[in-house]
Amino acid sequence: MSNFKFINELVLTQNDRWLINSILTDNEELTIFPDNELISLRDVLRERKESIDPQVYSKTSFNYLGLENIQPYTGFLVDFKSKYGSAVKSRCKIFKLGDLLYSKLRPTLNKSYIVDERVNNGICSTEFLVFEIETSLIEPILLRYIISSDFVQEQVEKFIAGAALPRIQTDDFLSIKIPKIDKKYQLILSKYLKEKHQEYLDCFNKLNSYQQDLNEILLTSIKENRISEPKKK
């Protein structure tokens, strides 16, 4: 009988659809925090549902974010440029400074981003879930790192539906559990994460600059028939 699992009828009737992975698994990862109370993401997030059709404002410049602008796992902003409404071909969601953006498309890529001053207010692809963070309850940078952790990712995988274009639904994402952390300790953790985040970002930018530097060295060295190091920045 070890290959079978008995499911309570209530479990099968309480949702409007069945996700086999979420029904058959036992949420063993939640036991990693035996001394912490667990809360749902819906306790600290509020979905922002405003949207806009950029084509109506074709000559307006928007701070636009697509999935390609968020680095997987790190949440770093990459290749961001504003766009005129005429260049954005589909309806978009509106976000504001401090919001959390989370990719509902292929969520295993783990793309989440806290909107900062570089982008400020703007619009994004409808493949993002957009949330206002209850900052009185949780520090934004701490929340982002918890969401990108293996602890949350293991829960996310149970709610993914769709083979060709796997997605997670808003209600399923908001049902995910995270540990409740004392606010004073949150401030300590957030300070630490901000320092490490900046170190990580500096290394990321330096690593990415190597490819451009090597490309410039190669082309210049071929042209001048000698190894030409790039100028110090």
In the chain, domain spans: 38-181, 182-233
CATH architecture of 38-181: Alpha-Beta Complex (3.90)
> What is the C-alpha to C-alpha distance for residues 41 and 29, in angstroms, rounded to an integer?
16
What is the pTM for the complete model shown? 0.80
Give me the chain's average pLDDT, please: 88
Question: What confidence tens digit (pLDDT) does each residue in 35-94 have?
Answer: 779 999 999 999 999 999 999 999 999 999 999 999 999 999 999 999 999 999 999 999
User: What percent of the chain stands above pLDDT 90?
Assistant: 70
Reference 147, options 118, 115, 110; nearest CA is 110
> What is the C-alpha to C-alpha distance for residues 217 and 229, in angstroms, rounded to an integer?
6
Q: Above 50 in pLDDT, residue 106? A: yes
DSSP 3-state assignment of 36? coil
Q: Above 70 in pLDDT, residue 11? A: no
Reference 111, options 95, 96, 129, 93; nearest CA is 129
Number of neighbours of residue 121 by Cβ within 10 angstroms:
13
To the nearest 10 degrees (0 to 180), the angle between helices 140-147 and 183-224 is 70
> What is the C-alpha to C-alpha distance for residues 178 and 228, in angstroms, rounded to an integer?
52
Question: What confidence tens digit (pLDDT) does each residue in 174-223 have?
Answer: 999 999 999 999 999 999 999 999 999 999 988 888 878 888 888 888 88
What pLDDT is recorded for position 129? 98
Length, in residues, of the chain: 233
Q: Which residues contact 59 (CB under 8 A, 6 or more apart)?
A: 84, 85, 86
What pLDDT is recorded for position 104? 96
DSSP 3-state assignment of 220? helix
What's the CA angle centered on 85, arms 79 and 89, to 5 degrees? 85
Question: What confidence tens digit (pLDDT) does each residue in 123-156 have?
Answer: 999 999 999 999 999 999 999 999 999 999 999 9
> What is the C-alpha to C-alpha distance for residues 155 and 38, in angstroms, rounded to an integer?
13
Q: Please, are residues 144 and 135 in contact by the beta-carbon 8 Å criterion?
A: no
Q: Please, are residues 151 and 138 in contact by the beta-carbon 8 Å criterion?
A: no
What pLDDT is recorded for position 59? 95
